[in-house]
A and B are shown apart, each in its own frame.
Chain A
Amino acid sequence: MKGFPAMEIRAEVRPSGVTEVFVEGALDMAVAPALRDELQSLVKGGAVNLVINIAKVETIDSTALGALISGLKAARKSGGDLRITSPRERVSSLLKLTNLDQVLKIVDNGEFP
């Protein structure tokens, strides 16, 4: 796990070639730049299909949502996509409230691509 203030992140490549990114902690403005950089760096390194596993994310704010959008745009630009899996209630409520559940699609684990 790579350490950031109040956030942990690690990536695992599945046999299908999809990269699952496990994120833990509170995703907010303190860690959003690091999350953005990490996703950009993964895409740059060829991991263009990403599933962000946020089962252990307690809270998320609009700046962290922006970082996920940034990752989504980078993945799509490289011919891939980015999906979310296992959000907790607070996180899925915020995705719905911001209509971002239409953009950051939630998939069951293993459903993507």
Chain B
Amino acid sequence: VNEPELWIVDTISGPGTTEELRQAWIKIWRAHPKVAESVRAEIEIAAHEIAANIVEHAGADQPVHMRMEVAVLPDEIQVRFIDDGRELKGSLDSVCLPDGMAERGRGLAVARAVLRNLSYQRMEDGNQWTLLSERFSG
């Protein structure tokens, strides 16, 4: 069985993190041109929101070690984020969109809404997020 190709971004979070991830997605889509734009948009939006959450909350605006692993499978995209930051406050199950005039607090709700599944696990020395895109026919 062939292992799926794994795209990895291993970085220390900072002001350039989101741009670094964006560049990685450009390379990934270049290698997988058949993935539909709607799937690309959704997984990228979700991954971006999780990365932002790691930078802002897990790191509390201090640098954290962050690793994004992306596997493009024939019918879905799997993304895993690992960081060595602080534990997520509250439960992912209770995440919902805030009031329309709220200026914060939408990130995780957005990620959940566009994914087939989003899970979070606190590890011994950090956090792990797993993102699964909607299924598609490659």
Interface residue ranges, A against B (CB under 8 Å): 5-6, 26, 28-30, 59, 61-63, 65-67, 69-70, 72-73, 89-90, 93-94, 97-100, 102-103
Chain B interface size, as a band, is 20 to 34
> Scoring B residues 97 to 127 as 1 if CB is less than 8 Å from chain A, else 0, what string do you get?
1001111101101100110000000000000
B49 contacts partner chain A, Cβ-Cβ < 8 Å:
yes
Give the Cβ gap from B60 to chain A, nearest Cβ, in Å.
14
Known: A26-B22, A30-B16. 11 other contacts (CB 8 A): A29-B55, A30-B18, A30-B19, A61-B49, A61-B107, A62-B107, A63-B107, A69-B103, A72-B101, A73-B101, A98-B97
Q: How far is the CA of A99 from the CA of B101 in the complex (A)?
A: 11
Known: A30-B15, A94-B110. Contact between A69 and B102, CB under 8 A?
Answer: yes
CB contacts (< 8 Å) of B44 on chain A: these are: 59
Q: Is the interface of B mostly helix, strand, loop or mixed?
A: helix
**Chain A hits for B109, CB < 8 A:** 98
In this assembly, does B56 line the interface, its C-beta being within 8 Å of a C-beta of chain A? yes
Which secondary structure dominates where chain A touches chain B? helix
Which residue of the partner chain, among B17, B45, B102, contacts A61 with CB atoms under 8 Å?
B45
Bound-state Cα–Cα, A107 to B129, Å:
37
Residues of B near A73 (CB, < 8 A) are 101, 103
A100 touches B100 (CB 8 A): yes
B92 within 8 A of A: no
Nearest residue in A to B100 (C-beta to C-beta)? A103
CB distance from A13 to the nearest CB of B (A): 26
Tell me the bound Cα distance from A17 to B104 in angstroms.
Answer: 30
Measured CA separation A15–B127 after assembly (Å): 53
Contact indicator A66/B52 (Cβ below 8 Å): no
Chain A residues with CB under 8 A of B110: 61-62, 94, 97-98
Contact yes or no, B48 A61, CB < 8 A: yes
- Residues B106 and A66 in contact, CB atoms below 8 Å apart: yes
- Contact partners of A100 in chain B: CB under 8 A: 100
Q: CB within 8 A of B114: which of A66, A97, A102? A: A97
Interface presence of B36 (CB below 8 A): no
Given A28-B48, A61-B49, A97-B114, decide whether A66 and B104 contact each other with a Cβ distance below 8 A: yes
Compute how far the CA of A65 lies from the CA of B107 in the bound complex, rounded to whole angstroms. 10
Contact partner, B41, options A5, A69, A93, Cβ 8 Å: A93
